[in-house]
Homo-oligomer: A and B are copies of this chain.
């Protein structure tokens, strides 16, 4: 089955301690769509300006990413610029220019409305709700969010959450949202806001997944040694999860979500190995499966010698 992916499409300028690059493809939807496309067809929803490179449209088409839902507006594409600290663990936003994104009102093509799986990648929760309003009973809705929306548009987020099957957020956001210091308590508390499942990302420490009662999964992170650009890791994680689910199952069970989290982690571990989406562009399914197996080996503890 297909997965509809809504989010930002951007041209990024990224500065790391080693290198600075500009006009890179970025944005939550760009990363998520590239990751999801390894597992299932994607219907992309977003907006770009007249400066957006034709080559990226060609990249999407080559990946079976449907771009009928990508609006092209007069003006400049959304631009973001950020700089990473020496250890790549923190970053500072240097500038944001919303440009055509400022008046973005997602409008779904008719062919998108019946899509079974939806990923509302990181974007204002009002836009996430607006897309859901236009859909006909999707089977499974994944939503990503961030501190900005928790702090500035909390009521929009609260309206969205009961419509979400799986909410993804990071550890500090989970704590901020619930005022709980324990991530276990935070994960359970967020489920009460509506989402049936909650995934809390812990960066280099992996992720936790919460479902009903005894449904709990703790997933390690792939041990990375050479990170070149952490941008989009979370978006790639979310895209890998939603794509894996859409491409693999018709009804989602907790077991499927466990595997989906691993595939999301695997995709994210590749994404950070190069700038922008460059590693995802030349990644093969065989490499993904190989790293999935490595993940299994490094996390299981009942194996024969």
Question: What separation, in Å, do the CA atoms of A185 and B305 have in the docked complex?
Answer: 26
Q: Report B-chain residues with C-beta under 8 Å of the C-beta of A205.
A: 202, 205-206
Q: Report B-chain residues with C-beta under 8 Å of the C-beta of A299.
A: 217-219, 299-301
Chain B nearest CB from A219 CB (Å) reads: 7
Instruction: Determine if B303 and A225 form an interchain contact, defined as CB atoms under 8 angstroms apart.
Output: no
Is A183 close to B, CB under 8 A? yes
Question: What separation, in Å, do the CA atoms of A185 and B219 have in the docked complex?
Answer: 21
Across the interface, A303 reaches (CB within 8 A) one of B216, B255, B304, namely B255
Question: What separation, in Å, do the CA atoms of A102 and B302 have in the docked complex?
Answer: 44
Question: What separation, in Å, do the CA atoms of A302 and B292 have in the docked complex?
Answer: 11
Q: Report B-chain residues with C-beta under 8 Å of the C-beta of A302.
A: 259, 296
Chain B nearest CB from A295 CB (Å) reads: 8
Q: Report B-chain residues with C-beta under 8 Å of the C-beta of A206.
A: 205-206, 218, 220
Q: Report B-chain residues with C-beta under 8 Å of the C-beta of A256.
A: 305
How many copies make up the complex?
2
Q: Report B-chain residues with C-beta under 8 Å of the C-beta of A185.
A: 225
Instruction: Determine if B217 and A298 form an interchain contact, defined as CB atoms under 8 angstroms apart.
Output: yes
Question: What separation, in Å, do the CA atoms of A204 and B175 have in the docked complex?
Answer: 15
Is A223 close to B, CB under 8 A? yes
Chain B nearest CB from A217 CB (Å) reads: 6
Chain B nearest CB from A144 CB (Å) reads: 21
Chain B nearest CB from A170 CB (Å) reads: 13
Across the interface, A259 reaches (CB within 8 A) one of B219, B220, B301, namely B301
Q: Report B-chain residues with C-beta under 8 Å of the C-beta of A124.
A: none
Is A184 close to B, CB under 8 A? yes
Question: What separation, in Å, do the CA atoms of A219 and B205 have in the docked complex?
Answer: 10
Question: What separation, in Å, do the CA atoms of A303 and B185 have in the docked complex?
Answer: 26
Question: What separation, in Å, do the CA atoms of A208 and B204 have in the docked complex?
Answer: 12
Can you name the residue of chain B whose Cβ is closest to the Cβ of A256? B305
Chain A contacts with B in 217-232, Cβ cutoff 8 A: 217-221, 223-225
A residues at B contact (CB < 8 Å)? 87, 89, 181-185, 202, 204-206, 208, 216-221, 223-225, 253, 255-256, 258-259, 261-262, 296, 298-305
